[in-house]
Amino acid sequence: MEKVCLIGAGSTKYGKLEDSITDIALQASVDAIESAGISPKEIQAGYISNVFGIADKQVHLGPVIMSNLGIPEVPSLSIESACGSGSVSFREAYANVAAGFYDVILATGVEKVTHTGTEWTTTYFSYCSDFFYEGGAGASFPGLFASMARAYLSEFKATEEDLAKVAVKNHDNGLLNPKAHLRKKISVDDVLKSAVVASPLKLYDCCPFSDGASAVILCSEKFAKAHTKNYVEVIGSGRGGSPAALQGRDHITTIPSTKIAAQAAYKMAGITAKDVDFAEVHDCFTIAELVDTEDLGFFEKGKAVEAVREGRTKLNGDISINPSGGLKSKGHPIGATGIGQVAEVFDQLTGKAGERTVKDAKIGLTHNFGATGASCAVHIFRSV
Ligand SMILES: CC(C)(COP(=O)(O)OP(=O)(O)OC[C@H]1O[C@@H](n2cnc3c(N)ncnc32)[C@H](O)[C@@H]1OP(=O)(O)O)[C@@H](O)C(=O)NCCC(=O)NCCS
């Protein structure tokens, strides 16, 4: 296999955006192309992750983006894997460079949903669950993650304050990220006093609905070396699956797909969880970050909660979790999120993360899943 590298990354701000889905996808793509210092003509394929283009009247986004970049002849593929679309698309782009099919790929993720309103967006998102057992029976994502939270709080003697601490940490990080959706300092008390969405989860335990786009440029090592000294290597890539509905799982305080994807990625990279300096993980709800950091092997089962209490996951703690602010504060434009995580790792490892830089970081990990973890991809990156 060819070594695969990252040479550029770009993002729009996440939040409520007025431009069309095509425009924001282009803004992020151009940003990534300029950051890589290449010409669009050097791109050989495009991978576009998106879930609800139909809500902004544009599906088949690949050719539209390639045409607007002035490279209509370049092949492209749109990929949907619910909230994990970005990482799954990144994996396909990675595999195609690794296999030697292409030297340079543009991977762009985009979502635009805030204009449809909370009621409709919640309904659309529920189509990503196992609709027969979950969405169609009235279980929205806040409800499903609330079930996981209830089980976790009772199994591991954790409290709602512990969940709140995850939100406070991620809001603190998001304050340092100019592109984050919710840039607001909050306290544990603010979280506990915010409106109940699905008990025990409250408003500040939830990620917001966000619009946004992110893009990265993947390439072969040969191409990277010929273009720049400041690039990042992809050293591990893993994918996993879980029963689509929560009811099909033996335990709901762990996500099988995360464990499978992480093991595959660590094995490929030849490292263990202890070697990772920071991670962008899928904290769609505060409970998810606790479960993720255990499934990724950073903490033993039931111990993530102690790590959060002790501040070990804060920026420049033992392991910085979600230095970007995570889905909770940076925002969660679902088709873009997985690519946005990779863009954050690129910025961190190439000295472009400004005030939120994780000191002396060499190895970063991204973890992004679809729905309640039915599909998942984990990637590991190293600075050169
Ligand atoms: C939590 C949730 C129900 C809130 O929706 P809502 O009550 O309609 O919120 P609104 O959009 O009306 O916003 C009301 C206020 O709360 C803020 N807000 C909205 N969602 C927020 C969130 N998740 N965290 C913090 N603040 C939030 C808004 O900025 C707004 O603030 P303002 O009045 O100062 O402008 C919605 O954000 C949600 O469902 N999030 C989860 C999304 C999801 O399931 N994603 C997939 C994960 S798998």
Mean of the pLDDT values across residues 290-304?
Answer: 98
Beta bridge partners of 279: 321, 365
Q: Whose CA is nearest to atom 32 of ligand 1?
A: 182
Burial of residue 117, with CB atoms counted within 10 A of its CB: 0-12 exposed, 13-18 middle, 19 or more buried: exposed
Query: How confident is the model at residue 168, as a pLDDT?
Result: 98
Helix (H) or strand (E) holding 377: strand 375-383
Assigned token pair, 180: 């984050």
* Residue type for position 153: L
- What are the pLDDT digits (tens) for 213-241? 999 999 999 999 999 999 999 999 999 99
Determine whether the shortest distance from the Cβ of 141 to ligand 1 is under 6 A.
Answer: yes
Please, what are the domains in the chain? 4-116+209-227 (3.40.47.10)
pLDDT of residue 24: 98
Q: How many CB atoms lie within 10 A of CB 331?
A: 29
The confidence score (pLDDT) of residue 277 equals 98
Q: Model confidence at 175, in pLDDT bands (50, 70, 90)? A: very high
> Measured between alpha carbons, how far is 365 from 341 in angstroms, rounded to an integer?
9
Q: Which of 81, 111, 128, 206 to mutate to test the pocket of ligand 1 (most atoms within 8 A of CB)?
A: 206
* pLDDT given for residue 112 in this prediction: 98
Whether the Cβ atoms of residue 129 and residue 117 lie closer than 8 Å to each other: no
**DSSP conformational letter for 195:** P
58's tokens = 């544009």
Determine the 3-state secondary structure of 72 from DSSP: coil
Question: Can you give the pLDDT at residue 188?
Answer: 98
Structure-token pair, residue 234? 């992809």
Distance 206 CA to ligand 1 centre (A): 7
**pLDDT tens track for 25-76:** 999 999 999 999 999 999 999 999 999 999 999 999 999 999 999 999 999 9
- How much is the pLDDT for 110? 98
Residue 26 near ligand 1, beta carbon < 6 Å? no
Residue 92 confidence (pLDDT)? 98
Q: Are 216 and 28 in contact (CB under 8 A)?
A: no
Amino acid 171: pLDDT: 98
Residue nearest to atom 29 of ligand 1 (CA): 182
Nearest alpha carbon to residue 7 among 36, 29, 40: 36
| Ligand 1 mutation target, pool 118, 186, 193, 205, most atoms within 8 A of CB | 118
Which tokens hold the place of 111? 């979502």
Q: Residue 134 contacts by C-beta under 8 Å, 6 or more apart in sequence? A: 126, 144, 245, 246
Q: Is the CB of 142 under 6 A from ligand 1?
A: yes
Measured by CA distance, the residue closest to atom 37 of ligand 1 is 208
> Which secondary structure element, helix H or strand E, spans residue 91, and what is its range?
helix 85-98
Question: What is the predicted pLDDT for the residue at 279?
Answer: 99
CA pair distance 169, 205, nearest whole angstrom: 12
CA 144 – CA 243 distance, rounded (Å): 14
For residue 366, report the phi and psi dihedrals to the nearest 5 degrees. -120, 145
pLDDT at 380: 99
Question: What is the maximal distance between C-alpha atoms in the chain?
Answer: 57
Residue % of the chain over a pLDDT of 70: 100
Residue type, 132: F
With a 6 A CB cut-off, is 206 part of the ligand 1 pocket? yes
End-to-end CA distance of the chain: 19
Cα three-residue angle 384-99-297, rounded to 5 degrees:
55
**Residue 48: φ, ψ to 5°:** -120, 120
CB 335 near ligand 1, within 6 Å: no
Q: What is the pLDDT of residues 226-282, one digit of tens each?
A: 999 999 999 999 999 999 999 999 999 999 999 999 999 999 999 999 999 999 999
CA of 203 to the centre of ligand 1 (A): 6
Query: 209 C-alpha to center of ligand 1: Å?
Result: 6
| Packed helices 141-156 and 160-175: angle between N→C axes, nearest 10 degrees | 120
- The verdict on the CB of residue 128 being under 6 Å from ligand 1 is no
Q: What is the pLDDT of residue 99?
A: 98
Residues assigned a catalytic role: 83, 332
Are the C-beta atoms of 127 and 350 separated by less than 8 Å? no
pLDDT of residue 326: 98
pLDDT of residue 372: 98
What the block records as the tokens of 217 is: 């440029």
Do 206 and 288 form a contact (C-beta atoms < 8 A)?
Answer: no
Q: Does the Cβ of 83 fall within 6 Å of ligand 1?
A: yes
